[in-house]
């Protein structure tokens, strides 16, 4: 990533700050996909490494609250993982339970993420964005982002929002700089 790139939304990358990679795990939530058909998880994994971060975990679980929470807890408890990004299960159908699984684990919800997500998503899918229950929060000092399962949603979520907040060079501020402070008391 070049310091000359212009992040969307009016931010900028500081040329005076060295990039610090983050350790990221990707969780796909799906009843219908397997490793060979997990295109959204692969898309995120590819972008994470393309942009200089470390992909330190990848898993696929069924749309089941207990299964989602079990995998998330393992990663939250791992001090080597800074960020978890899930894809899938954020819609409105009966099997879409990712928000119900992740929200109880949050120490703090990042409510601004939902607003930014919907503004970003609206630019791509219009009013259909209201069908998404994408969310984000902090759990045990780990950032968690829950994105919809479509490739388009993962592209928008990473390319236009998450990527920039995980880049410590992003100004005027970013979540990456705050990682060491998330567990302060």
| Torsion on CA atoms 76, 152, 1, 24, rounded to nearest 10 | 10
User: How far, in Å, are 68, 129, 130, 175 from residue 142 at the CA level?
Assistant: 16, 26, 27, 11
Closest-CA residue to 162 (of 4, 22, 33, 64)? 22
What is the structure's pLDDT at 38?
96
What is the structure's pLDDT at 1?
45
What is the structure's pLDDT at 169?
95
What is the structure's pLDDT at 2?
44
What is the structure's pLDDT at 3?
43
From first to last of its 185 residues, the chain has per-residue pLDDT tens of 444 567 887 789 999 999 999 999 999 999 999 999 999 999 999 999 999 999 999 999 999 999 999 999 999 999 999 999 999 999 999 999 999 999 999 999 999 999 999 999 999 999 999 999 999 999 999 999 999 999 999 999 999 999 999 999 999 999 999 999 999 88
* R_g of the chain computed on alpha carbons: 15
**Block residue for tokens 């979520």:** 157
**Domains detected in the chain:** 21-179 (3.40.980.10)
Global pTM reads: 0.95
| Helix residue ranges, H only, the chain | 39-50, 65-76, 98-102, 111-125, 151-157, 163-165
What is the structure's pLDDT at 5?
67
What is the structure's pLDDT at 176?
96
């Amino acid at each position: 990533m070049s310091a000359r790139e212009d992040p969307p939304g009016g931010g900028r990358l500081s040329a005076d700050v060295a990039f610090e990679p983050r350790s990221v795990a990707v969780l796909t939530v799906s009843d219908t996909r397997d490793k060979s058909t997990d295109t959204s998880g692969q898309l995120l994994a590819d972008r994470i490494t393309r942009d200089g971060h470390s992909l330190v975990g990848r898993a696929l679980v069924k749309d089941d609250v207990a299964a989602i929470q079990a995998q998330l807890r393992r990663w939250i408890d791992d001090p080597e993982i800074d960020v978890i990004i899930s894809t899938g299960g954020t819609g409105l159908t009966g099997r879409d339970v990712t928000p119900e699984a992740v929200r109880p684990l949050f120490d703090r919800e990042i409510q601004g993420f939902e607003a930014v997500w919907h503004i970003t998503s609206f630019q791509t899918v219009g009013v259909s964005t209201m069908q998404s229950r994408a969310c984000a929060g902090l759990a045990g000092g780990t950032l968690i982002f829950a994105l919809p399962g479509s490739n388009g949603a993962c592209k928008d979520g990473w390319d236009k929002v998450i990527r920039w907040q995980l880049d410590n060079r992003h100004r005027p501020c970013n979540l990456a700089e705050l990682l060491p402070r998330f567990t302060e008391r």
